[in-house]
Chain A
């Protein structure tokens, strides 16, 4: 009985947050998560991948004197005006100096931060697990306004024309006035909305835990169409001309007509494992990464594999970053992979 108890307890260890922050490019450097709760600026001009700075800094603490322990970073860093903005699972939102990695300012929210930030007109917007969307002064971190939804906000807010769109796990997508935080409209789905919305031609695309990718009218919030998959939509969709590409946790990637949601490929592309990472266009190849770390290059026209799958044997849940014909992919554990449009893959070796 004791042996069983030990076994059961070993199986029942607490699920540890690992993080799935994607990389960001700023000038000649890549800002990326290089381990659990660790961020670094990496010189990519230098082929050795030398680390310029690391976060958390050894010599800095929170304003109350406590140690900085980000726990995990899910928030893909956002770079604007030589500042790196990101939130961490410890509930703190950080603004770092891009050149040195020093903390310019930091602000605590009421829960872990999972989504990334959006910035416009000197205001940075970020959602938190406490259900609030925060609008902070990009220079000082001072609170401009906050909007309380009914559940966690894990999606990255989207800004367009003075409106901030936020998807919440309370099953609602909100359109808020970016200046005041006043609600303009909301749409209620049948499941939580963890997916970052995308805007195209007056249509807001958002995926949810009700297995649906929905297209909403951006002016009224009314649903235009909904496409149902075999599992949840958690990816940020990619729109190319009149086609939206979205991966699902059912392991498939769908290509749908933006106008009415009808499938464009004969069959969705089946990767065999959940897809959370957003699809990425590399030149003329659609790059798809699934949770197991299998990367495939598809023809966006018909969904047929051009190359792959390449097996990285790493958990990949983060959104890849594209730079011309090169993709940077962060795997859980801190490995950074470089993939070109022909499927040639290399591990970015970091040096101090």
Chain B
């Protein structure tokens, strides 16, 4: 009889408001293996990693560690079971030193509560040496690079006796040299018998490092098997193939108007560089890319929110002053941001007040808000966008994600923006509201509005757009017309997999 798997997932399910993140996922991870977890943005791979590490808890299903069911409710409980996670979010106190962070749960003290600094540094140095990391334990965490902070996280995990380490996109913000270092460390960890669950969407990396691979799609388990038995092309095919939920939009048949937005050589240090694009009245253009490719950053720079942006942006042939939201607004641009609760809406105000937020100058006379006009406008747009709210005086905080998104969109329609930059139109929006938002965008395009839409959901872009631009690592790497665009072709561009691999 073979030994039980290190980790086994049995029918794991997790629901977030409006979206089923995981739906009955079952597979197992062999001891001492480096197990890759891959899928598109939003496929559920990070959620699964977080459930294993006790950051989230599953709604249904069983988690088994060496054959015994476990229910880690907190990261601390997972730690006690020997499961740790290395992730991008701040895991440490940036204002304390490496040594203090490493020993935070159990600071060596002398009598009277004095911190034993010598013992502290000795212990920290031993932990770092364990993984071959050459770091001064006295340095502040805040002064470290992402790669160095990862080393400290891994040292902390090993130090607490972790046998399973979940790594969530560990290479996403590393340089090439740092990535090589990471690979060396990963190999040395598996050589010591530590089991790694490696979450990534970089195919070449997984093929270089991992021995087993699991593909998730739309929260469902698609395939698990030895990595030697598959190819990057096959994996791409398995990752995609979501159902197309978008009806063919009607704006595609109309003739396009004049060019309204042209971006030339737009760059922002460390975010993206050399972005060129053009948008015509009535056109819907998609912007695809993996997380971190610089899509949202590009939209924000066009909208004047990035003071370090350089390059040229023309609106209807007129140069647009960069780094100024005022200038962008005056030129008729509107940005529907990705994080609508933080950037798009004032949750404590009513629907009416949010709709008129950007249109106050037009709605007021001598500084007085014309309340009748404001109410009429709010009513008009909430009817037009079919906002489901008790009435226009309801607080936005109480609306569902889809209805909040409609209010955020109404804000720009109330200002009669004719160039809309839309970042993740359906993030955190339930299926029903999605089906309402797509025709709405179609309708806006038919009215002659130019729409640039960023989305992590490829079917959404494939369904909505006339053209899809693809970004990878801060650069524009493709401009695919609708007829040639498939999930596979876009995914290959996004992940940087050569076309012949997919054969």
Q: Do A and B come from one complex?
A: no
Partner-A contacts on B (CB < 8 A):
none
